[in-house]
Structures are given as structure tokens and as C-alpha cells.
Chains A and B, each alone.
Chain A
Amino acid sequence: MSALIETAGLTRILPGIVPVTLVQDVTFSIGEGEFVAITGPSGSGKSSLLYLLGLLDRPSAGVLRISGRDTAALGERERAQIRLATLGFVFQFHFLLPEFTVRENVEIPMRRLGRLDKAAMRARSTQLLEALGLAGHLDKRPDQLSGGQRQRVAVARSLANDPPIVLADEPTGSLDSKNSEQVFAILDALVRERGKTVIAVTHDADMAARASRRIHLVDGRLAAS
């Protein structure tokens, strides 16, 4: 099975008078259907690594291949296209657009991609949200939902364009244990039932333990994989 994400010597240094090394010489490869937990102490570069994998940031050195494509040569427009169609993001905070309803938030990436017609988008957003237990909240605004519900909407949005990879940055970080459990279960189901690859940054030892694989960072370096 070919690797979905492949890195070689991935390094990110923040330039400045005193350069700060966020990620140093990280090499690994992740295949389809893996649930990877990126762990490590605070400031170890977990999130920075995730942003690099998510094409939100550019590495200072090293190689990053997504679905076999070297991302270094890609322009801004092509990187955006990969984020749109191949990657789904879930952040610690839900990061929904407050002026739009739950359904509209989920449909925004679909409308940007423009592959589906209006009726199909509506059907897909309904199905995604209902599967995540939000059937009665489709036309509410994010601020009318609880924290756990918002995070589930964020998961639904990350799946809008059916990307093979879901990147999650402390998805349960701001949730209580019950909601954390629920969100984790959803991510786990994505891997088991839908064959997605989920890469989650977490400091939740329980979650890390249940992942199929752990990438442990210390001071930006790969400590264990």
C-alpha cells in the first residue's frame, strides 16, 4: 500500500535574530486507514508539524509528499486546492463562521469545490450532520450550540468534500470527558468504517493509547514512531 503522506527531513525554523526551531528533521510515512496520534509535551512542535502536513505552513527544509506529490513545487493556488479536496481540518476551537447556520458552514467547502449541485450539497450536508447526531440543529447558528455539538459540526465540515485525510489539532482539547469520548469515537469510526486517515495532535494519553499509531515529538524531533 502506497504512503498517503510521506516526509523526509522535514524542518521548520522560524527566522529571526534568534531562530526558533519548531520541527527538526522529521521523517515518517503514513498510509491509508491509519489513526495517528501526534503526542509530546507542550512546545514540542506537535501543532507546527500538523500545520506543515496541512499545507498551512511551508517547511524550511525537507520533503513533504501528499498522495505521492511533492508539495514544495506547488503554488499557493494548488496548495489551496489540496486543502480543499484532500485534507479536512478540525481545530481545538470549532472555528465555525458565526454568521452562517450549521448547514451553511458545512456546505461552504462544497460550494468552493463546486463538484455538487445545490440539491446534492443539501443532501450531503444533511446526511453528514445527521450521522453526527445533529439532526435537529441544521438551521441553528453556531452560538446556539454546545461546545461538543460545535466540534461535531466542525468534524462534519472537515468531511464536506470527502477528503481521504483528516487533520485534527487537539480536537478534544476544549471539551469535557463525555464530549471528548464522543468526538474520539467519531474520528475512530472514520478510520474503521470509512477507511480515512486521521492524524490528531493530542495530549490526551487515553486517546493516544487508542490510536493505531503514535508519533511522539520532543523538542521538535521525532522521539518515537
Chain B
Amino acid sequence: MPLILTLALTHIIGRGRQTLVAVLGVALGVGFSIAMASLMQGGEDDFIAKLVDTMPHVDVTDERRAARRQPAQDEFAALHIAGLRPREDRRGILNPTEVTAMLRAWVPGKMALSLKTQGVVRYAGRDVGIGIIGVEPLAEMQISSLTKDFRQGSFAALIAGGNNIVVGSRLAQRLGAELGTTVTVVSATGQSRAFKIVGLFHTGTTARDEGEGYVLLKNAQILSERPNAINEIRLKLDDPNAAPQVARRAEAQIGYKAVAWQEANESLLEALVIRNVIMYTVVGAILLVAGFGIFNIISTITHEKARDIAILKSLGFTEADMRRLFLLEGLALGACGSLIGWAVGFGLCFALSLVRFELSGAAVAQEITRLPLAWSIWHYLIAAGFALTSAAIAGYLPARQAARLNPVDIIRGAT
């Protein structure tokens, strides 16, 4: 073992209790920051996964970002048209067959067409307003997160055709209806039809469980008196992170507004960034406090070992040797604390992963959730890196002081 290392280890082992306190300080700092980073990262991943899962990755709607340009405007530069109102206001995505064919040619993922309209569900004297969504069951089953949330029945029950509807569990509850009940659906255009409930879903989001009903696309078009119309194309991509590029390209190609999930949730994602900043500040503060522990013990050692420093210098050790010695002591404490901290962090994460929450919804069966934890080697490396850096700084300041010590002053003082 190198001489300086031997001396450093002798010093810190010689001060057992203080060394233990400093090492534990670092270990707890590292351990807690790992557990916290893991929890925050896990929460974020879980949140985004849920978000990405529930929402379409790219949502193409029948809106346009700017007023549609008239062909004449392209021909004549001087032409100015404002407040244009077409005689027949055909809402929805025009020419859906062509648009979907264009998208299907290159979009990496799945897509589902739908028509959303408003209506009222009527049963046993109760009226509840809902959004009626016309879907193609096979396509919907591939992209919708709802598939997992069915309590009874499924989208597959819609395939057979006929006047069937899938509704949320809370809606059924409010109406007093259940699977197999026939309810009346009245659309905004005044069309009224009887639908049999063939599926019940429960997502946990009240707005959806209470306000959505799924029918065949055809039925929705009949209800809203818009044959062949659709007003939404939802894309589920193979890679959710590619959504912004896909949205941009789709919008440029077909002219309708295409919104990526990142754009739709910009403020939420911004909040996550702020949350991360807060987390790393807190983690940094914990490690900084641990660093002060190291500073304290190295300072104490340099004061107590002033005589040793004088002896070593008189024996022919240089100032650089002395700096190295005390820097090494700081680093040894930091490294030791980091190693124990890794174990503490791992243990904490394991303990947290065992915690179970039993959330009971109002009328539904209990939902059991575990804490979302993300495991990443980076949490361990960053925490240890930060601890070692603060240990190095905490060791360096007293080390510099020790190196400057004039041996004559100490030898005289002792005589």
C-alpha cells in the first residue's frame, strides 16, 4: 500500500467514532438521495406511461390552425378575403378515405378513426348528457387503453353490428342500468334510437366513466346525420417519442391540426421539469450537509495532527504530500460513505417497493397500487459522484491549511 494511503487510513481509523459519524452522514445522504431519485423518477415514468397509454400519441382533429386559404388567394397576390362563410358548413375531416390512405402509407403505428358527437342517454326517467363516440371496434381495440379497463363485455361485442353501446360504469350506475339493459340515445340533431348496453368499463377517471359512450362508427354517423363523416383520427405510434415529428409531417400533408401528446400536455411536462429541479436541489442539499460532516472531521484531524504534520515535514515530506494525505482522507471517507450509501439506497428502494396502498374508490372494488420506483445505475453514480466531489472539497480546504503549517512553529510550541 502506498505510504500516504497508509498514513491516511491510520488517521481516520484512529478516530473511530468521528469517522463513523462522518461516513454515516455521507451514507445516509447518498442512500436517501438514491431512494428519492428513484421514487421521483419512478413517479415521473409512471405518470408519463399512463399519459402516453391513455392518450393517442398523435391526435388529428377536424380543426385547422389557420383559416383555410381560398384557391383564388394563391392565384392573385392582391386578393384579400376575410370573414368568409361557406354556404354549407361541412364539419369533420373531408374525404376521410383519402386522408387515412395517405397516413397509413407512412405512419409507423396504428390508427383509429372516430366520430365524436353529443347526445343524451335516457333510461327509467333519467337523462344524462354524454359524448357519443363512433368507433371501428377492431381498430379501437388495438389503440385504446380502454380495452384493459372493461368490467363486463368488450369492444368485441360491438363488431357484430346492431344497436349496441359500451358505456362507463358510473354512467350505468347513475342511470340504474346494467349489462343488457336497453337505453335510449337522443342525439343533438334530434335522432333517437334504442341501444343495448353490451359493455361496461371503469377507467378511474370520472369524466370518462360518467360521460362517454361508444357505438359503431356507422351508428354515430346516423345519429349525427353525417354519413361518411369522421372528425378524429387517433394514432398510436410504435415509438411514442416520435410523436412530434409524425404530427408535424401529418399536419403538413393533410392540412388538419395534428397534436402530439407532448404538445397536448406541455404544461404537465413543464411541471415535471420543475419537479426534477426541486428534487435535485433537495438531493444536492442532503449531500452538501454530508460534505460538511467530512469537512468537520478532516479539520479536526488536521488540528489534532498538527504535530504529526510537523514531524512528517521534518522527515522530508513535501507540502504536496501533506495536501495529498488529507485530500485522500476526505476521499476515503467519501468513498466509504458512498459504498455504504449504495447499500442503504438499495435497501430503502427495496423497502419502498414493498409498500402497498389500498385505494378504495367510491363504489368500485379496491385498487391496490405499489409505489412506482425506477432503477437506474445513474442514480447511484450521480449520488456517489456528488458525495465524492463534496468530500474532495471538504478534504481539500483543511488539507491546504495543513500543508501550509510551518513545522518550526509546532516544534517550538512543543518544546
Contacts and interface: CB of A to CB of B under 8 A. Distances in A.
B315 A108 contact: yes
Contacts of B267: none
A145 to B, nearest CB: 17
Contacts of A54: 314
A83 B320 contact: no
A112 B317 contact: yes
Contacts of A108: 3, 312, 315
B411 A51 contact: yes
Contacts of B412: 47
A89 B320 contact: no
B316 interface: yes
B10 A99 contact: yes
A161 B320 CA distance: 21
A42 to B, nearest CB: 11
Contacts of B318: 76-77, 80
Among the interface residues B311, B317, B407, B414, which one has the most CB atoms of the partner chain A within 10 A?
B311
Interface stretch (A90-98, A177-185, A208-216): A90-98
Nearest to A94: B311
B313 interface: yes
A36 interface: no
A203 interface: no
B177 to A, nearest CB: 84
Contact of B314 (A77, A83, A93, A161): A83
Given A80-B313, A80-B316, A93-B415, A57 B307 contact: no
Given A51-B411, A76-B318, A97-B308, A111 B313 contact: no
B109 interface: no
Contact of B316 (A47, A51, A83, A96): A83
B311 A97 contact: yes
Given A84-B315, A97-B308, A97-B311, A77 B415 contact: no
B209 to A, nearest CB: 72
A100 B305 CA distance: 14
B178 interface: no
Nearest to A157: B315
A95 B307 contact: yes
Contacts of B311: 95-97
A48 B107 CA distance: 88
Nearest to B307: A95
B95 to A, nearest CB: 84
B415 A89 contact: no
A113 B10 contact: no
Interface residues of B, number: 25
Nearest to B2: A111
Contacts of A80: 313, 316-319, 321
Interface string A164-204: 00000110000000000000000000000000000000000
A85 B317 CA distance: 11
B408 interface: yes
B319 A76 contact: yes
Given A76-B319, A92-B415, A56 B313 contact: yes
B14 interface: yes
A81 interface: yes
B183 to A, nearest CB: 87
A155 B352 CA distance: 61
A199 to B, nearest CB: 15
A142 B316 CA distance: 21
Contacts of A62: none
B10 A89 contact: no
Contacts of B411: 51, 56, 91, 95, 169
Among the interface residues B3, B310, B320, B406, which one has the most CB atoms of the partner chain A within 10 A?
B3
A38 B41 CA distance: 73
Nearest to A12: B408
A57 B10 contact: no
Contacts of A112: 3, 315-317, 321
Nearest to B4: A112
Given A80-B317, A80-B319, A84-B316, 9 more contacts: A56-B407, A57-B406, A83-B315, A84-B317, A91-B415, A97-B308, A97-B311, A99-B10, A169-B415
18 contacts: A47-B415, A51-B408, A54-B314, A56-B314, A56-B407, A56-B408, A57-B406, A80-B321, A84-B315, A84-B317, A91-B314, A91-B411, A91-B415, A95-B314, A96-B311, A108-B312, A112-B317, A169-B411
* 3 smallest beta-carbon distances between A and B, as pairs: A84-B316, A83-B316, A80-B318
Interface of A: 47, 51, 54, 56-57, 76-77, 80-85, 87, 89, 91-93, 95-97, 99-100, 108-109, 111-113, 157, 161, 169-170
Interface of B: 3, 10-11, 14, 307-308, 310-321, 406-408, 411-412, 414-415
